[in-house]
Amino acid sequence: MNPTLHAVRLGLARGWIETRHTLVSRQEIGFTVVTSAAMIVVMYFQRDATLPGTSISLAAVTLPGVLGMLAAFNGLLSAVGGLAVEREDGTLLRAKALPQGMVGYLVGRIVLVSLTTLTRVLVVLVGGLVLIPSLAHTPPSGWLTMVWVLLLGLTATLPLGAVIGSLVTNPQTAAGLSMLLTGGLAAVSGIFYPLSALAGWLQALAHVFPLYWLGLGMRSALSPAGAAAEIGGSWHTLETIGVLGAWSVAGLLLAPPILRRMARRESGSLMQMRRDRALQRIG
């Protein structure tokens, strides 16, 4: 069998096994409940407010942005943080020893983060259906659009997170760097408000990154009629597919060799050194 295809199969199996363990973890369940509840509470207080000059619920406008941000944050933060932790505990060192091990590792991370992210999105979406009755009238085409935007958005952000994670050496640095990056992107992405409200140079900058297109795609799927305030008065569906697809392809091509290069520098002595530093931080 082709070594790469075999590594992909092992990665798929590993991702599914890790997902099953994650979904029954008390820590994971607690994190999902707390974060989802926080988002649902925000929409609860917005349910009776409307967009100025319209009868459209503010919660209905907020929900697509929340779901898009949830997907992007989980894709980036989970990839960066998970890579830093598994670099420190020796998981990467073990993967390095297998033929095409880094390909299998990357596939496993994509499966794990994608399935856990979709679970969290589903929890928030159920809350949105309760608070926003009009959401139940979304046509099948809208739900289909939501699915492909989420999947394409995850494949665009996960490899990017893996590349960023390969540049950091410990979980603390990874957490700070990933929060800074996602916070900066969110500030200029227009994911919670129309991009037309920003300066022209910020609009051009936002168009380069996947976060804007992820938010735009989610709004095109779930926003009520009359809520659109996008540049050019269009949802730019083809451009969304093109940009997210380009980031996905670029990430999936670049991430494995970058991870392999990082893994080549790994050794037992470096891993032990990081473990000692981690124990000192804990102690």
DSSP letters along 1-54, please?
Answer: --HHHHHHHHHHHHHHHHHHHHHT-HHHHHHHHHHHHHHHHHHHHHTT-B-TTS
pLDDT of 100: 75
- Of 169, 149, 1, give the one whose Cα is nearest residue 70: 149
What are residue 137's phi and psi, to 5 degrees? -90, 5
- Of 245, 69, 31, 248, give the one whose Cα is nearest residue 158: 248
- Split at pLDDT 50, 70, 90, the class of 243 is very high
Read off the pLDDT of residues 245-260 as tens digits, 9 standing for 90 and up: 999 898 888 887 887 7
pLDDT of 85: 73
Chain Cα centroid distance, residue 95: 23
34 pLDDT more than 90: no
Pick the more confident residue, 172 or 117: 117
Pick the more confident residue, 228 or 236: 236
- Split at pLDDT 50, 70, 90, the class of 171 is low
Identity of residue 217? G
- Split at pLDDT 50, 70, 90, the class of 92 is confident
pLDDT (average), residues 100-117: 83
Predicted TM-score of the model (pTM)? 0.80
Calpha distance 282→263 (Å, rounded): 26
pLDDT (average), residues 217-242: 75
Identity of residue 257? P
DSSP string, 77-134: HHHHHHHHHHHHTTHHHHHHTSTTHHHHHHHHHHHHHHHHHHHHHHHHHHHHHHH-GG
pLDDT of 224: 65
pLDDT of 148: 92
Read off the pLDDT of residues 2-31 as tens digits, 9 standing for 90 and up: 777 888 888 888 889 988 888 888 888 888
pLDDT of 280: 63
pLDDT (average), residues 74-95: 74
pLDDT of 283: 53
Q: What is the mean pLDDT of the chain?
A: 79
Between the alpha carbon of residue 71 and those of residues 78, 211, 215, 277, the distances in Å are: 10, 9, 10, 32
- Of 26, 194, 157, give the one whose Cα is nearest residue 79: 157
pLDDT (average), residues 227-235: 62
Calpha distance 196→204 (Å, rounded): 11
- Split at pLDDT 50, 70, 90, the class of 242 is very high
pLDDT of 241: 92
